[in-house]
Chains A and B, each alone.
Chain A
Amino acid sequence: MKHSVVSLTINGAERQMLVAPGSTLIDVLRESQGLTGTRRGCEQGACGTCTVLVDGKTAMSCMLPVETIEGAHVETIEGLTPPQGLHPIQEAFLQGFATQCGFCTSGMIMVAAALLAKNPNPSREDVVRAISGNICRCTGYEAIIDAILDAAVRIRSAAHAEAA
């Protein structure tokens, strides 16, 4: 029952941690790193609220034994949030009232971030497909889909303004 030392880059910072056998990524994020923006939901990989990015790809942090992702780059909602203000996806969620109880929000935003990184101009159906692994028990899906489409516009116009 020996603990092991695992190194991860979390939101750009290298971290080393001592983990018990079977610890999942969400255990480490919430309990040893104090990053409580990632929500613990079903604990079975079924609800998507614990979604983070591992090496740029979406993953359920409740289902990842942290020993199996040694050396990975992990990004959480805290890493997405800029030092000042909000990320365009967060702004779009806020202004579009796309949060109800808020429990699914960080997972939804991380999935949206992965989608928009790959596909900056998604169709509505693309967004529906992208969030199909995430459950909103308030059933506020329409507002979430609208917010992600709005975020895509915000990010594209910001990129356009920068280029000009």
Chain B
Amino acid sequence: MNRFDYIRPVSVPEAIAAAAVPGSAYLAAGTNLLDLMKVGASRPERVINITRLPGLDRIEWLPDGGVRVGTLVRNSDLAYDERFAKTFPVVAEALLSGASAQLRNAATVGGNLMQRTRCAYFHDLAGACNRREPGSGCDALGGENRLQAVLGWSEHCIATHPSDFCVPLAALDAIVEVEGPHGGREIALDTLHRLPGATPEQETALLPGELIVALRLPAEASSFSRNARYIKLRERTSYAFAVVSAAAALEVEGGTIRKARIALGGVAAKPWRAREAEALLEGKQATAQAFAEAAELALAEARPSGDNAFKIELAHRIVTRALSLALEGTPQAMPALPASPFPALSGANHVI
């Protein structure tokens, strides 16, 4: 690990002022930053610990029924908050399908949004990576690339965004509240993460020094609570990143789809909202045929970035599956293996 200065601000303005110095990085639980610092993929000169900032660890219900979640709320505290899990079950399911209990107990909301790609070439200092070192090239292209992106990639970068949490957040129109050197602003979660284009090193829409202070879910997103699922295909049954995942949320009335929300994970450098597929479903009968057509449309522009054409077919099936499981209804209790495409294990509770 490189040597760095450690700064512990006591207020948000103080943190932002500290971060104005180039080479600074915000630190919350450190479950991603520390990992990257240990291998040298991230080498901040100043680490700004934000865990002591007041007021950022609360879940606040808004008068209109929406919710505002502070950036320091732990993943497990949010997923196990009874009202939150009941109102936005697809978000809780995605949270509990990520990492392990130990990491969810530490990892924060803002940290999850800001986590970096798990592309092996980004982590391996011996390899070329435009995201880690602009202009150095992309060793993933033509390398070991079966898990890389199939949507929105460029010849400069084919990495994917690893978050489960962000997938339903993109589907449900979550808003990110940001404070920065020039005051506060709001960013739609769907536009927080950027596609690589020619500048893959610019990973998010945040400007230098900007800090995520909260995440909001609008009241309208609660209308999907009865028919919403997150489905994640992974190479082990737990504690693995998604090969492909999908969040599906439906508002159904007498067999007709009133509203649909679909987003995919593991397929692009950002959580991938499939708006055209949503529009196709609205007003239609909720049938297997309609779901297959929506999945087809969601993947219409997909193309392999290497040895990963299988992910396109897989994504197609996961979207179809997520939609049909959403139609079956949100489970009464959190499945023992959240987001699993397999039938629920009997007699298990998800408790820690």
Contact = CB atoms under 8 A, between A and B. Distances in A.
Nearest to B52: A70
B327 to A, nearest CB: 26
B4 A22 contact: yes
Contact-size category for A: 35 or more
A2 B5 contact: yes
B238 interface: yes
A4 interface: yes
B182 interface: no
A51 B100 CA distance: 11
B352 A21 contact: no
A21 B30 CA distance: 13
B345 A1 contact: no
B352 A58 contact: yes
Contacts of B185: none
B351 interface: yes
Contacts of B239: 132-133
A138 B3 CA distance: 37
B31 interface: yes
Nearest to A132: B238
Given A22-B34, A57-B105, A129-B337, A115 B351 contact: yes
A132 B100 CA distance: 7
A65 B103 contact: no
A44 B106 contact: no
Interface residues of B, number: 40
B75 to A, nearest CB: 11
Given A1-B3, A22-B34, A65-B34, A125 B102 contact: no
A94 B76 CA distance: 32
Contacts of A111: 101-102, 352
A4 B51 CA distance: 15
Given A22-B37, A59-B106, A125-B336, A133 B1 contact: no
Interface string A104-119: 0000000100110011
Nearest to A71: B52
Interface string A7-30: 000000000000001101000000
Interface of A: 1-2, 4, 21-22, 24, 43-45, 48, 51, 54, 57-60, 63-65, 67-70, 111, 114-115, 118-119, 122-123, 125-126, 128-130, 132-134
Given A22-B47, A44-B38, 15 more contacts: A21-B4, A22-B34, A22-B37, A45-B35, A51-B102, A59-B102, A59-B105, A63-B35, A63-B106, A64-B106, A65-B49, A67-B8, A69-B51, A125-B348, A133-B99
16 contacts: A21-B5, A21-B47, A22-B47, A24-B34, A59-B102, A59-B105, A63-B30, A63-B106, A64-B30, A68-B49, A114-B101, A114-B352, A115-B352, A125-B336, A126-B336, A133-B100
